[in-house]
Amino acid sequence: MTAEQSVESVPLPGEMFLHNFLEYLILGIDIVVGIIIAVSIIRGVIMFFKIIRKTPQEQEKHEISIRRYIGVGLILALDIEVASDIIKSILNPALNELLALAVVVAIRIALGWSLSKDIKEGPSDNK
């Protein structure tokens, strides 16, 4: 091993700090995503239990607002998770990380389109 090779393999202190910071940032983002999903689902379940005793017409009105609330929470969580995956692919630009990012972005686009369409239009069943 030459002196040039040993200098290149030793990370600079700033690089280590940045790498560690980004690792903690990814962890924080993933925790926030989990909290957003959990709060959206728990709140949706609570809203659902509140409408059980109401008439079917009132239940239908409230069902749409429950769907919207949960859908918006899931779309927000997906957007934030894409940011986390972008940071992961920057830290580890391996092929499997880039493929995982592409899959997550594709899923986010499909789910986002589907959820936003459902939120705007409401249920698509014809009564």
Length of the chain (residues):
127
- List the Cα angle 118/52/40 in 5-degree steps: 45
Alpha helices, H only, the chain: 3-9, 13-51, 56-91, 95-121
pLDDT above 90 for 29: yes
In this predicted structure, what is the pLDDT of residue 24? 93
Query: What is the pLDDT confidence band of residue 33, given thresholds at 50, 70 and 90?
Result: very high
Q: Do residues 77 and 36 make contact, with C-beta atoms less than 8 angstroms apart?
A: yes
pLDDT digits (tens, 9 = 90+) for 69-119: 888 888 888 888 888 888 888 887 788 878 878 887 888 788 778 777 776
In this predicted structure, what is the pLDDT of residue 107? 81
In this predicted structure, what is the pLDDT of residue 109? 82
